[in-house]
């Protein structure tokens, strides 16, 4: 079914309540394991339908946050979902306490029941009002970030659209665009700070009402982290600090030398080459056509998948006023349909985002065959392996996207993939500090950000934008607001994608088979067990980061970057 033909159905709280209560009663009264299994399958079918209705509305709301019809529908959903979750939990309590639990575990897997047990710890009816408020605060932040209408060079731009000028090869253009971009954030700084402060206190209150000592513990369980903890992540961050920060210092020194700038500021790092960054040869329609050819050549499965996405209009790629920033992939189980959302703006990031989100969507497409909804997709850090590895599998095809700039693109992409790691762990350490110090003021949070900036990214210089010199740049990072503690997942996945990159450089066919195996496993195992079964190294183990970043630094060091 084409996306535009999918009907808008705002879930009815009364009908949903009635259906879940009916299923709960049937499961409770089941007289045999066969009856219990039948009820659970009916529950899966109903959940898929409900998830699909919510997702269709959510997608259309993010495509146009100014559409009052979908804004109203999204507000309604945010109000009723926490309540629905209560009825859902009632069903799942009967499920995990069923006298047929062992029989059900044999059919649906023990992990599913462990996931339910964990969900009981992070949800209770008493926190429903707080969850509703949390959702509404996220919408409020989103509206600020997507609501910019900035005049520049005779045109009106959203923040995402204006962002392309921040990497313009003309320094004056970069500086002028930055003043407008960050000027908008400065105008809204106090409001954004207030929103975040409310979020932090809400989440802390939720955690303590549920018996956690702080929100960090609750957040880890909410993200499905069943086989690693805060201490493991801290040790991993230390690997990045000791191994990768020195590498990135070297990358930035070489970049400054290429540009002929002795004292680069943070905007200068947006430009990789004096001649300008690699730019795709065409717009989003052009990129989709090139991607179609690429995925048809890559494998039969990837070709069939991408044509399915095109034929059913399951991508919305162009930046436009009122559209939420960023990019994502989501999934509509009723239609077995992934959906890709992004904000193309004519930069090389358009290709990064497309290949990245296609990696997610390809996993969603292959995982659609999994019967247990909770297993179709892995936890978030594992999801990001799928997407970030796809960026590297696309390397041999970059000439069709960039022409003579293909080598320039690959050098920049690999450099920035390594350079991203310190920023990713900086975001993570910042969030840990925030939720361990919930009563800190907005200015104290910003001061902590600057302290971490000097630790993880000492090369960053914000003197040309005094607002950022006060530690304010983090307010544009939406994950900090809407998906607390998610951001470290990108870095964990990046290290594992580096492992795939190292393997594909030796034997591409073998690496691709290993990748497909990973995608098809979906979320049948928690993160560490999943990567172990996929024969990938554990990033929490000391030495893993060095093992897969050192060979890639050798590639960069052996490249004559002055000729790109």
pLDDT bin (cut points 50, 70, 90) of residue 326 is: confident
- How far is it, in rounded angstroms, from Cα 199 to Cα 191? 12
Contact predicate 284/341, CB 8 Å: no
Instruction: Answer yes or no: is 487 within a domain.
Output: no
Closest CA to 517 of 530, 502, 501: 530
Is-contact 164 347, C-beta < 8 A? yes
Domain contains 91: yes
Rounded to whole angstroms, the Cα distance separating 539 from 552 reads 16
Average pLDDT, the chain: 96
| d(C-alpha 215, C-alpha 520), whole Å | 33
Residue 399 covered by a domain: no
- Interval 21-69: pLDDT, tens: 999 999 999 999 999 999 999 999 999 999 999 999 999 999 999 999 9
Alpha-carbon span 47 to 29, nearest angstrom: 21
In percent, how much of the chain has pLDDT > 70?
100
Q: Encode pLDDT of 154-202 as tens digits.
A: 999 999 899 999 999 999 999 999 999 999 999 999 999 999 999 999 9
Question: Could you please report the per-residue DSSP string of 177-194?
Answer: HHHHHHHHHHHTHHHHHH
Q: Are the C-beta atoms of 96 and 116 separated by less than 8 Å?
A: yes
pLDDT higher than threshold 90 for residue 345: no
Segment 448-479, tens digit of pLDDT: 999 999 999 999 999 999 999 999 999 999 99
Whole-angstrom distance, CA of residue 410 vs CA of residue 396: 10
pLDDT in tens, 230-267: 999 999 999 999 999 999 999 999 999 999 999 999 99
Do 177 and 183 meet the contact criterion of CB atoms below 8 Å apart? no
Q: Give the Cα separation of 66 and 227 in Å (integer).
A: 41
Instruction: Tell me if 12 is assigned to some domain.
Output: yes
Note whether residue 57 is domain-resident.
yes
Q: What is the pLDDT of residue 94?
A: 97
Contact between 186 and 472 (Cβ < 8 Å): yes
Beta bridge partners of 157: 150
Q: Are 272 and 255 in contact (CB under 8 A)?
A: yes
pLDDT at 310 over 90: yes
Instruction: State how many domains the chain has.
Output: 1
458 is a domain residue: no
Range of the domain at 35: 3-108
In this predicted structure, the answer to whether residue 325 has a pLDDT above a threshold of 90 is: no
In a domain, residue 150? The reply is no
Tens of pLDDT, residue by residue over 354-386, are 999 999 999 999 999 999 999 999 999 999 999
Surface-to-core class of residue 180, CB atoms within 10 Å of its CB (0-12 exposed, 13-18 middle, 19+ buried): middle
Q: Kindly state whether residue 26 falls inside one of the protein's structural domains.
A: yes
């Amino acid at each position: 079914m084409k996306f535009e033909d999918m009907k808008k159905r705002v879930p009815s709280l009364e009908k949903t309540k009635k259906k879940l209560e009916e299923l709960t009663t049937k499961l409770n009264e089941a007289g045999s394991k066969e009856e219990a299994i039948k009820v659970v399958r009916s529950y899966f079918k109903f959940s898929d339908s409900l998830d699909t209705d919510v997702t269709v509305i959510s997608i259309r709301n993010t495509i146009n946050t100014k559409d009052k019809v979908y804004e109203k529908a999204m507000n309604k959903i945010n109000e009723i979902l926490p309540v629905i979750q209560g009825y859902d939990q009632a069903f799942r309590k009967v499920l995990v306490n069923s006298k047929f639990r062992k029989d059900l575990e044999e059919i649906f897997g023990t992990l599913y029941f462990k996931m339910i047990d964990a969900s009981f710890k992070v949800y209770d009816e008493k926190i429903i009002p707080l969850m509703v408020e949390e959702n509404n605060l996220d919408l409020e932040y989103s509206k600020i970030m997507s609501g910019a209408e900035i005049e520049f060079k005779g045109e009106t731009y959203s923040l995402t659209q204006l962002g392309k000028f921040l990497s313009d090869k003309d320094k004056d253009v970069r500086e002028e665009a930055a003043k407008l971009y960050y000027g908008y954030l400065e105008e809204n700084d106090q409001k954004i700070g207030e929103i975040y402060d409310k979020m932090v206190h809400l989440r802390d209150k939720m955690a303590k009402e549920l018996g956690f000592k702080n929100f960090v513990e609750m957040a880890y369980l909410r993200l499905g982290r069943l086989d690693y903890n805060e201490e493991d992540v801290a040790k991993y961050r230390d690997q990045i600090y000791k191994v990768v920060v020195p590498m990135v210092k070297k990358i930035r020194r070489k970049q400054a030398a290429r540009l002929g700038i002795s004292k680069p500021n943070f905007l200068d790092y947006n430009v990789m080459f004096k001649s300008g960054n690699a730019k795709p040869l065409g717009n989003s329609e052009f990129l989709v056509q090139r991607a179609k050819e690429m995925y048809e050549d890559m494998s039969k499965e990837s070709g069939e998948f991408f044509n399915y996405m095109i034929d059913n209009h399951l991508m919305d790629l162009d930046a436009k006023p009122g559209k939420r920033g960023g990019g994502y992939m989501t999934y509509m189980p009723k239609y077995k349909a992934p959906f890709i959302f992004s904000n193309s703006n004519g930069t090389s990031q358009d290709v990064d985002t497309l290949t990245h989100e296609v990696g997610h969507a390809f996993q969603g497409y292959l995982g659609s065959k999994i019967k247990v909804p909770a297993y179709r997709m892995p936890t978030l850090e594992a999801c990001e392996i799928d997407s970030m590895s796809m960026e590297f599998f696309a390397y041999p095809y970059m000439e069709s996207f960039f022409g003579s700039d293909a080598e320039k693109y690959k050098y920049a992409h690999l450099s920035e993939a390594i350079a991203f790691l310190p920023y990713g762990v900086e975001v993570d350490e910042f969030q840990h500090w925030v939720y361990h110090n919930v009563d800190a003021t907005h200015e104290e949070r910003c001061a902590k950000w600057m302290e971490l900036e000097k630790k993880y990214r000492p090369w960053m210089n914000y003197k040309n934008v005094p607002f950022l010199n006060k530690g304010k740049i983090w307010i544009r990072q939406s994950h900090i607001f809407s998906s607390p503690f998610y951001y470290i997942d990108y870095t964990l996945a990046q290290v594992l994608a580096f492992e795939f990159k190292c393997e594909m450089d030796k034997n591409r066919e073998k690496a691709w088979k290993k990748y497909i195996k990973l995608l098809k496993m979906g979320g049948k195992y928690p993160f560490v067990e999943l990567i172990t079964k996929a024969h990938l190294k554990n990033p929490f183990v000391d030495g893993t980061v060095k093992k897969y970043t050192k060979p890639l630094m050798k590639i960069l060091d052996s490249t004559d970057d002055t000729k790109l």
